Chain A
Amino acid sequence: MNYDAIVIGAGMSGLAAGIRLAMFGKKVCVLEKHTIAGGLNSYYQRRIKETKEIAQFDVGLHALTNFATKGERGRPLTKMLKQLRIPYGDLNLCPQSYSVIDFPDKKLRFTNDFEFLRNEVHEKFPHQIDAFNKLVEKVVAFDELDLNAGYMSSREVLGNYLSDALLIEMILAPLLIYGSAWEKDMDFNQFVIMFKSIYLEGFSRPKGGVRTIIDKLISRFKEEGGELKFRHGVEEILTKDGKAIGVRTTKGEELFSSKIFSSAGLPETMELAKKDTSHQVGQMTFLEAICLTKRAPTKEEFEPTIVFYNNSEKYHYEGAKDFFDTRSAVVCCPNNYDPEVKDVHGCFRVTFMANYEKFKALERSAYLEKKEQAYEEALKIVKSISPSVELDVVLKDVFTPTTVERYTWKKRGTVYGSPDKIRNGKTDIDGLYVIGTDQGFLGIVGAILSGISLGNLYGLMES
């Protein structure tokens, strides 16, 4: 079978690239190894034993970053919706209440109105407000979407502006854990993407969770005549004389195309193309404990949407030495998006940095025991943030780096991919392009824009 383009992976970037190409008459096939789309931002269901209800959980980001109001000019979210011809209202976005960067002596709250954070910084770090404002000016003026930009250390840039080490740690914490493939530091281009998407724009969640976005992308792709095959992984990317010519699927079929867009990850893609490469596999892997409670927490019990908890003045963003690192955690309470939406159950998602190798080495029973231990630690953190919260648990679950690896086929279960990003998407093989996480735009909106821009550039403009 011949196609104008083949897309590997029905995640956010793959579906977006597929939609763009199909919209303008290209014959496109998206191949997905899993039975559900979404890739790193997907969902799964579990039955609550007691009540027999089906509960649906999001995996991946706790929030849709890049919040924008309808038609707001120049915003990534607006661009993304326009390019995919999805009406703003279809996402049913519920904005966050507020989020907290929670360190022992200081807390910084932020909302979808940036002035709120500016005031917080002014109040908690009065001697740093002018420097902070200058940093913000630099961030606003910075072109983070330059496809040819090189690496720059964010800590170095921040150090040039801010003198208070604690403020630097606090600003970095959410940005690192919501997107950095590097340990301890992040590329300044990515810092700017994250700063804008989290602090300047903000968090929201589609009603119905990430599935609302996934279902919309799939229906747009099908409306435009695209072909989507589930349970079809790619066994090998076929090349001839340094050019991509097609793929062989895990079902043994050969599909041909001179343009292949891969969201499998950079090291993973090069392995499929049987090319030796030195691309590193990322160090950062995570574990998440999910706790569903009988009823949603009241405002008094737990008001923030997301808490970036850290137990010391220094934020340790690095692969965990033990199974997981309890020095810091991200706690997301999805109930605290739009208070008008009344959920029956309460939900807490607690994310720790974790160690892939340690989990991978465990026998089944020890593995389950470790998950239980992580779950107990997660509850302790929720309790320490808000001692009054009532945790009447009806369902619990824990996913580890090995779970992520099993369902996404990302090496070591890395969710932010390789530290080697290819901004322009080009590989050593002609016609083979990397999209998604390892292209380097971050978050759900970033991944979708990655698929759109590279689909436009190599699939539409070059032909």
Chain B
Amino acid sequence: MTAEEVKQVVLDIISDVAPDEEVSDINSAESLRDQLDLDSMDFLDIVMELRKRHSVEVPSEDYPRLATLDSCVEYLTPKM
């Protein structure tokens, strides 16, 4: 997948996990948690959805790498 496609995958998952959040105006360099109402339960869901939809495993020690949209893309692109 290209970086752009991975970004779309993450955005799709976020909008399913947190349907009340507006994902179109996310600043990709800023922390997702600061911009959206996402808690640890929601991050678990993002990880679970990545596994379910794209068979990507994110071990818990790598959770910090999902902090921003840019870091998600950087971390996930080689895996997808």
Q: Measuring CB to CB, which residues of chain A are less than 8 angstroms from any residue of chain B? A: 23-25, 70-71, 73-74, 78-79, 82-83, 85, 87-88, 452-453, 456, 460-461
Contact between B17 and A82 (Cβ–Cβ < 8 Å)?
A: yes
Determine the chain B residues whose CB is within 8 A of the CB of A73 once the complex forms.
Answer: 37
By secondary structure, the A interface counts as: helix
Distance, CA A25 to CA B49, complexed state (A): 11
9 A-B residue pairs with CB within 8 Å: A24-B48, A24-B51, A24-B52, A73-B37, A82-B20, A83-B45, A85-B19, A453-B41, A460-B48
Contact between A83 and B41 (Cβ–Cβ < 8 Å)?
A: yes
Question: How many interface residues does B have (CB within 8 Å)?
Answer: 15
Known: A82-B18, A453-B41. 16 other contacts (CB 8 A): A23-B48, A24-B52, A70-B20, A71-B20, A71-B37, A73-B37, A74-B37, A78-B20, A78-B37, A79-B41, A83-B41, A85-B19, A87-B19, A88-B20, A456-B44, A461-B44
Residue of B16, B41, B44 near A85 (CB, 8 A) is: B16
Determine the chain B residues whose CB is within 8 A of the CB of A452 once the complex forms.
Answer: 41
Q: Which of B12-39 contact A (CB under 8 A)?
A: 16-20, 37, 39
By secondary structure, the B interface counts as: helix
Q: Measuring CB to CB, which residues of chain B are less than 8 angstroms from any residue of chain A? A: 16-20, 37, 39, 41-42, 44-45, 48, 51-52, 60
Contact between B37 and A456 (Cβ–Cβ < 8 Å)?
A: no
Distance in angstroms from B50 CB to nearest chain A CB is 11
Given A71-B20, A73-B37, A88-B20, A25–B52 Cβ distance below 8 Å?
yes
Name A74's closest neighbour in chain B (CB-CB): B37
Distance, CA A87 to CA B18, complexed state (A): 10
Determine the chain A residues whose CB is within 8 A of the CB of B44 once the complex forms.
Answer: 456, 460-461
Contact between A456 and B20 (Cβ–Cβ < 8 Å)?
A: no
Determine the chain A residues whose CB is within 8 A of the CB of B37 once the complex forms.
Answer: 71, 73-74, 78
Distance, CA A70 to CA B20, complexed state (A): 8
Distance, CA A25 to CA B51, complexed state (A): 10
Distance in angstroms from B52 CB to nearest chain A CB is 6
Distance in angstroms from A269 CB to nearest chain B CB is 25
Distance in angstroms from A379 CB to nearest chain B CB is 44
Name B20's closest neighbour in chain A (CB-CB): A71
Distance, CA A73 to CA B51, complexed state (A): 27
Determine the chain A residues whose CB is within 8 A of the CB of B19 once the complex forms.
Answer: 82, 85, 87
Determine the chain B residues whose CB is within 8 A of the CB of A87 once the complex forms.
Answer: 19
Distance, CA A453 to CA B45, complexed state (A): 12
Distance in angstroms from B31 CB to nearest chain A CB is 15
Residue of B39, B51, B60 near A79 (CB, 8 A) is: B39
Determine the chain B residues whose CB is within 8 A of the CB of A78 once the complex forms.
Answer: 20, 37
Contact between B42 and A82 (Cβ–Cβ < 8 Å)?
A: yes
Considering the complex of A and B, which 3 residue pairs feature the smallest CB-CB distances, nearest first?
A71-B20, A73-B37, A24-B48
Determine the chain A residues whose CB is within 8 A of the CB of B48 once the complex forms.
Answer: 23-24, 460
Determine the chain B residues whose CB is within 8 A of the CB of A88 once the complex forms.
Answer: 20
Distance, CA A74 to CA B51, complexed state (A): 26
Name A452's closest neighbour in chain B (CB-CB): B41
Name B39's closest neighbour in chain A (CB-CB): A79
Distance in angstroms from A460 CB to nearest chain B CB is 6
Name B17's closest neighbour in chain A (CB-CB): A82
Distance in angstroms from B26 CB to nearest chain A CB is 16
Determine the chain B residues whose CB is within 8 A of the CB of A453 once the complex forms.
Answer: 41
Distance, CA A88 to CA B42, complexed state (A): 17
Distance in angstroms from B41 CB to nearest chain A CB is 6
Distance, CA A383 to CA B41, complexed state (A): 47
Distance in angstroms from B65 CB to nearest chain A CB is 17
Name A25's closest neighbour in chain B (CB-CB): B52
Distance in angstroms from A335 CB to nearest chain B CB is 31
Distance, CA A453 to CA B52, complexed state (A): 19
Determine the chain A residues whose CB is within 8 A of the CB of B60 once the complex forms.
Answer: 461
Distance in angstroms from B16 CB to nearest chain A CB is 7
Distance in angstroms from B29 CB to nearest chain A CB is 22
